[in-house]
Structure 1
Amino acid sequence: MTMPMDNTQNQETWPKGTQVVANYNFDGSSPDDLPFRKGDVITIIQSTKDPNWYKGKNDHGKEGMVPATYVQKRREVHLQAMPWYHGKISREEAEAMLNNFREEGDFLIRDSVHFQGDYSLSIYFDGMVDHYRIIAKSNKLEVDGGDCLFDNLIQLVEHYQRDADGLCTKLIRALPKQGDSFGAVRIQDFEAGGWVIQKKDLQEIELIGRGEFGDVYKGLYRNEFVAVKQLKDQDRAAQAFLKEASVMTSLRHPNLVQLIGVVLGDTIRLVTEFMGKGNLVEYLRSRGRSVIQKKDQIDFATDTCAAMEYLESKKLVHRDLAARNILINESNTAKVSDFGLAKYGDYSTEGGKFPIKWTAPEALKNNNFSNKSDMWSYGILLWELYSFGRVPYPRIPLADVVMHVEKGYRMEAPEGCPKQVYNLMLKAWNLNPSERPTFKDALQELQNLRATTV
């Protein structure tokens, strides 16, 4: 084994609650030590007088001393800015924008019109705009006719900013998109951040679900059950898949499904904690009123609101809040999952497909998503919860839902729903987003109700 070097002079101090990942095996040399294997995740409990040692706790709750030089802090994986990415614009629109400035080396990247999942690089040079196809294959990108493979668009742009390498010119100045902020994920950031899991340490047991980007399996990792989301289409969805993982690296809350790690390689896998009782809507429908009590309902409502209050505090917008994306574990704790559409800040997005019955009117009409549009969705989730998993807006055709809502229609309270909860639904469904409650305010109301519910 390569012994770790003493790097404590340059090491930051880790506060209580910091997650670290083991870079080496450690067997311990005294009963006070906490043994661990390479790849184990440890939570720091407290620092000590000796900067070489911390007191830590493993996933099984065992505590002991941890040598600082054997572990590294788990770091968030951030999206890298892509101001030159313009999304779904046409060839003609790209040419018009570049011809407006007429500076050699000006460029932008857009989605390919003819090849779904590919991109187009448009460059102004010698009085005209040249277009190059960027092909996505085997989780890599390449310019058609070029010799280089890239992990993402940022890497591709940086390469051609240094060297034309077959293009008409080097990329000199990015033509930025106004409004939306796009980003890409670098695979090496997951490695540097301590999030990579080795495939040999992971066993997939059985298929338990299917999602937009991949199939979900029940798995076994280090003798613990986990959920494994396996990417279906490497060429088309790798970046979107990794963006979900990058968001999850920044989140830590008892009511959010936790990311355990990422398996890289030919097939990308996201490994998360296992939630044995499945999603909330199926849980409600399969058990019904004979099993689920009012105490269970207010617990689920409060758990979900606590998670959303945490996301609100971090200015993270979920965009797909619904009972189907709430998971229940063996202890009957509800946790918010599915961050495939999540984004930071109030923002708009173009060309997205969203579930009409759960999405706020301003988000459907103007693509304006915010924590307030999440609150609208939370109101719908509460209705699902207290109607035991019924589909919202029963008997109203999908195409007519928005019209009815804008004319003032609101769903009636489900049978047995507490008045306080229905009042919260009505406040969440205010057409004026600024008049809707914050999750912080809603959480206080629910906690008060929870305290008196038996």
Structure 2
Amino acid sequence: MAKMSWAAGTQCVAKGDHRKPKPEELCYHKGDILTIIHTSTKKGFYRVRHNSSGEEGLINSTNVREREALRVDPGLSFMPWFHGKISGPEAVCKLQPAEDGLFLVRESIRHPGDYVLCVSVSRDVVHYRVIYQDNKLTIDNTQFFYNLIDMIEFYSRNKGSIATTLLKPKQKHGTKSAELELSKSGWLLDITKLKLGGNIGEGEFGAVYEGEYLGQQVAVKTIKCDVTAQAFLQETTVMTKLQHKNLVRLLGVMLHKGLHIVTELMTKGNLVNFLRTRGRSVVNSAQLLHFALDVCEGMEYLESKKLIHRDLAARNVLVSDDSVAKVSDFGLTKVVSKAKSDNAKLPVKWTAPEALKKEKFSTKSDVWSYGVLLWEIFSYGRQPYPKMSLKEVKEMVEGGYRMEAPEDCPPALYSLMRLCWEQEPRRRPAFNKLREKLEREAGKHSGGEGGTSASGS
């Protein structure tokens, strides 16, 4: 029996062909990805948008299945043809039986930092040294590449100055092609359908652009470094499992000169800048409360999935066109049991004492960060612990110091912050309890303050 209550935005995969649609119905083929717009008055039907053509129409819910999340699999690789440090003779052995266009890439033992592309051609194996210079890779000093993914993509389409186009990757034992898995599960998008617009930000790992994919406004995070792309594969895998109105939605990924992660576009930018640039005259406290609730609901959903965010802060919350706040940047998200982290990168002012000291991350350390985020919201985007150095923050917080309430902050909200900042993690409330308290607060407000005034961008 088909699931009869798919929310708008749910992505589905067609189970078969539908080539002769009735009026208002959509034509599609087996494997096509369709996005639900809303339920139809016609029983069992949905109105959908075709992810490739952008066309809209009705479909019968029995003909589609919900698009699957990717399984987290450590063997999944964007570079299954990369074998690391192996010798030339070992590479030759691996490329048997000989087959034209069978290839692998290895690290150069003779020239550390360089790579070698090994290709089988006319029953022989040719070794091409890949030189790494000025942050680019090249075999012939005429064609330059950002990374190995980019290079393999090029030589799979063009012979260039090598003996044959690359036809078949020799996979390293234990790896699976991420490209294939993404494609099978419907998460690989078609780069030719993307119109890339202007740069809207620099992430830690690459630029973020706005763009349009089949008529939908999107944000595209580009990751040029192949090692980082591989690390982001885990983030992407996590994001395929998450569907919630207060989490930034992943639309899919593209592989082209590296990795592109495509998400819904949040036109009003991050919450810190949103609050700083508008301030008290534009955003009233009912709207602040609304943002606090949005984030809380997104976090409650992550908590229910046993995921820790670990970098919750107003800079990682984005605001949509209709002023809904959504949690983004799952770059540090890890499944609860495996939470070990790289301490150098921790955002000290947002990180709970036990996480800073003993690397103990949990939903409760996310709750601590949420308390700091509440302080950011109600101070209209001020930097927490004003005028204090990171070292002072660490020592003072450890010794029991807590920030004062922001100016004009409702007392009930300051007491919520203080609950989030309990020294003992188990004494901090869970996100569902926080949400209940915030809803009660919002109930009191809605009587007095009227609607939001933040929708004016």
Q: Give the TM-score taking structure 1 as reference length.
A: 0.71
The answer to whether the aligner puts 1:158 opposite 2:151 as a matched pair is no
Check conservation: 1:317, 1:346, Cα contact below 8 A. Answer: no
Q: CA deviation at 1:253?
A: 0.6
Question: Aligned ranges for residues 62-211 of structure 1 at < 5 Å?
Answer: 64-66=58-60, 71=64, 73-81=66-74, 138-139=148-149, 156-158=172-174, 186-211=178-203
The answer to whether the aligner puts 1:443 opposite 2:429 as a matched pair is no
- Specify every segment of 5 or more residues in structure 2 that has no aligned partner in the other structure, as ranges: 76-111, 116-131, 138-146, 153-165, 450-457
- Specify every segment of 5 or more residues in structure 1 that has no aligned partner in the other structure, as ranges: 1-11, 83-114, 119-134, 160-183
Q: CA deviation at 1:39?
A: 4.0
In structure 2, do the counterparts of structure 1 residues 433 and 148 end up closer, same or farther at CA, with 3 Å as the change threshold?
farther
Size of the aligned set, in residue pairs, is: 359
The answer to whether the aligner puts 1:42 opposite 2:52 as a matched pair is no
Local SS of the residue matching 1:341? coil
Measure the CA separation in 1 of the matches of 2:151 and 2:359. 29
The equivalent residue for 1:250 is: 241
Measure the CA separation in 2 of the matches of 1:416 and 1:61. 50
The answer to whether the aligner puts 1:308 opposite 2:296 as a matched pair is no
CA RMSD across the alignment: 3.5
Q: CA deviation at 1:416?
A: 1.1
Question: Aligned ranges for residues 212-361 of structure 1 at < 5 Å?
Answer: 212-233=204-225, 235-352=226-343, 353-361=345-353
The equivalent residue for 1:99 is: none
Measure the CA separation in 2 of the matches of 1:351 and 1:366. 12
Q: CA deviation at 1:78?
A: 2.1
Local SS of the residue matching 1:261? strand
Q: CA deviation at 1:73?
A: 3.5
Local SS of the residue matching 2:242? coil
Q: Which amino acid aligns with 1:427?
A: L
Alignment partner of 2:363 out of 371, 374, 378: 371
Local SS of the residue matching 1:290? coil
Local SS of the residue matching 1:209? strand
Measure the CA separation in 2 of the matches of 1:205 and 1:334. 23
Check conservation: 2:317, 2:325, Cα contact below 8 A. Answer: yes
Local SS of the residue matching 2:301? helix
Measure the CA separation in 2 of the matches of 1:361 and 1:193. 40
Q: Which amino acid aligns with 1:138?
A: L
Measure the CA separation in 2 of the matches of 1:249 and 1:43. 19
Q: Which amino acid aligns with 2:430?
A: T
In structure 2, do the counterparts of structure 1 residues 332 and 23 end up closer, same or farther at CA, with 3 Å as the change threshold?
same
The equivalent residue for 1:380 is: 372
Check conservation: 2:47, 2:56, Cα contact below 8 A. Answer: yes
Q: CA deviation at 1:188?
A: 2.3
Measure the CA separation in 1 of the matches of 2:61 and 2:409. 53
Measure the CA separation in 1 of the matches of 2:430 and 2:380. 25
Check conservation: 1:73, 1:193, Cα contact below 8 A. Answer: no
In structure 2, do the counterparts of structure 1 residues 380 and 117 end up closer, same or farther at CA, with 3 Å as the change threshold?
farther
- Higher mean C-alpha deviation, range 259-268 or range 245-254: 259-268
- Higher mean C-alpha deviation, range 195-204 or range 347-356: 347-356
The equivalent residue for 1:20 is: 12
Q: CA deviation at 1:238?
A: 1.1
Q: Which amino acid aligns with 1:56?
A: Y
Q: Which amino acid aligns with 1:156?
A: K
Q: Which amino acid aligns with 2:148?
A: S
The equivalent residue for 1:397 is: 389
| Cα displacement string for residues 64-92 of structure 1 (whole angstroms, at most 9, x for unaligned residues) | 233855x553111122147xxxxxxxxxx
* Aligned-residue identity in percent: 41
Q: CA deviation at 1:27?
A: 6.7
Check conservation: 1:16, 1:44, Cα contact below 8 A. Answer: no
Measure the CA separation in 2 of the matches of 1:389 and 1:185. 43
Local SS of the residue matching 1:421? helix
Local SS of the residue matching 1:217? strand
Local SS of the residue matching 1:80? coil
Q: CA deviation at 1:288?
A: 0.8
Q: CA deviation at 1:55?
A: 1.7
Local SS of the residue matching 1:158? coil
Q: CA deviation at 1:241?
A: 1.8
Q: CA deviation at 1:57?
A: 2.7
Local SS of the residue matching 1:40? strand
- Higher mean C-alpha deviation, range 343-352 or range 412-421: 343-352
Q: CA deviation at 1:289?
A: 0.9
Measure the CA separation in 2 of the matches of 1:375 and 1:411. 16
Measure the CA separation in 2 of the matches of 1:350 and 1:413. 31
Measure the CA separation in 1 of the matches of 2:114 and 2:313. 28
In structure 2, do the counterparts of structure 1 residues 141 and 33 end up closer, same or farther at CA, with 3 Å as the change threshold?
closer
- Higher mean C-alpha deviation, range 266-275 or range 423-432: 266-275
The answer to whether the aligner puts 1:29 opposite 2:21 as a matched pair is yes
Measure the CA separation in 2 of the matches of 1:447 and 1:332. 18
The equivalent residue for 1:175 is: none
Q: Which amino acid aligns with 1:260?
A: L
Q: Which amino acid aligns with 1:322?
A: A
Q: Which amino acid aligns with 1:262?
A: V
The equivalent residue for 1:169 is: none
Measure the CA separation in 2 of the matches of 1:185 and 1:375. 37
| Cα displacement string for residues 148-192 of structure 1 (whole angstroms, at most 9, x for unaligned residues) | 9979xxx63427xxxxxxxxxxxxxxxxxxxxxxxx983322111
Measure the CA separation in 2 of the matches of 1:140 and 1:215. 17
Q: Which amino acid aligns with 2:214?
A: R
Measure the CA separation in 1 of the matches of 2:20 and 2:365. 51
Q: CA deviation at 1:116?
A: 9.7
In structure 2, do the counterparts of structure 1 residues 433 and 191 end up closer, same or farther at CA, with 3 Å as the change threshold?
same
Measure the CA separation in 1 of the matches of 2:229 and 2:16. 30
Measure the CA separation in 2 of the matches of 1:28 and 1:269. 35
Check conservation: 1:55, 1:63, Cα contact below 8 A. Answer: no
